[in-house]
Structure 1
């Protein structure tokens, strides 16, 4: 066994609601993940059988599974899986946005991944330097407003702007979770889940609706497009 293998099963007590180990240690944080599942089901139905949009729905479902596992098991490996599921969805969405809204060919749309990372590094570093809580999520927050700017001449821009504002509120609830423990023992992390489910649904539905309604704009990712 690798000498650090045990670290992956280490107990993680990172939220106000959790008082002790156990599958039911965070009931609100666990149940609130259903929001991601509902978003996934709704997007799956809106995909109308199209493979690409359904992959986005599957990404939302993966966030539901990973986050639920983390808040039930409270282990380091589950926390890593939770973060990885979110990161994977964010990067996949960046590519889809480049194709559906910017109309980049698929072979160029993948450049949205390094573009996002180029944005994320200085933003996260700046948030860390300022001591802001939840600094790792500063990049998606800024990115949502960037997407709103990039769609300024598109009818979709209000969705990205609203999603950015809502995500800012959501991030605030995540940041004050431990601060309110004394007055509100359950904490506020469950509100982070619920609002994020709405944010992800809004931006995903917008992309999927455009993708399904204008298949010539997106189409399948092939080598020649």
Structure 2
């Protein structure tokens, strides 16, 4: 678990400051966490979402500073945790408060299936955002556009993440830092929408 991980263009050797842009761009998550915390105004759901975004900030920063396998696992766990909670919050609001917890294993199963099919950890999240937007659009809820925009931004960020290793010869710093910046926007948009819709 302490093995060295070199998975990004920007990192060319071990070292605490081997990925300056990838490390600093994680501040987008911190900004998102603060904004969601302030928006929540004591709402427990909003505070939980803000705390989870803060966990993503810490885990991703540590990973890009240390570049070790255990830190990579922590990074993935933080992001997955946020996605699972979002699925439950959405299900509680639009399906059944009593059975909302079922959304977590359902989303986890979707993530496993898409990963086994070669879609990686995040294709399930993109499908989930599309599903959220579709459910609200069917219900004629104006907030469907919020999830649609979040999904579009996430699709762009996912593409940039995938391109990182392919552009090393042209862009030495890679594109992974843009994945962080855009995902900060995505996490804020999703959390903001869930907080606003969770209010009476």
Q: TM-score surpassing 0.5? A: yes
Q: Which has the larger radius of gyration?
A: 1
Consecutive aligned runs of 4 or more in structure 1 exceeding 4 Å deviation: none
2:108 and 2:23 map into 1 onto residues whose CA distance is: 30
Contact map agreement 2:111 2:122 (CA 8 A) in 1 = no
2:51 maps to which residue? 58
Determine if the alignment matches structure 1 residue 189 to structure 2 residue 173. Answer: no
Choose which of 160, 167, 176 in structure 2 pairs with 1:173: 160
Task: Work out the number of aligned pairs and report it.
Answer: 198
Superposition pairs of residues 1-225 of structure 1, within 5 angstroms: 8-100=1-93, 102-105=94-97, 107-126=98-117, 128=118, 135-152=120-137, 153-211=140-198, 213-214=199-200
1:4 maps to which residue? none
Gaps of 5+ in 1: 1-7, 215-225
Contact map agreement 2:11 2:19 (CA 8 A) in 1 = yes
Contact map agreement 2:133 2:148 (CA 8 A) in 1 = yes
TM-score by length of 1: 0.85
1:171 and 1:35 map into 2 onto residues whose CA distance is: 16
TM-score by length of 2: 0.95
Indicate the RMSD between aligned Cα atoms, in angstroms. Answer: 1.2
Does the residue aligned with 1:168 lie in a helix, a strand or coil? helix
Structure number with the higher helix fraction is 2
- What is the Cα deviation at residue 122 of structure 1? 3.3
Gaps of 5+ in 2: none
Contact map agreement 2:52 2:78 (CA 8 A) in 1 = yes
2:81 and 2:109 map into 1 onto residues whose CA distance is: 16
- What is the Cα deviation at residue 103 of structure 1? 4.8
- What is the Cα deviation at residue 157 of structure 1? 0.5
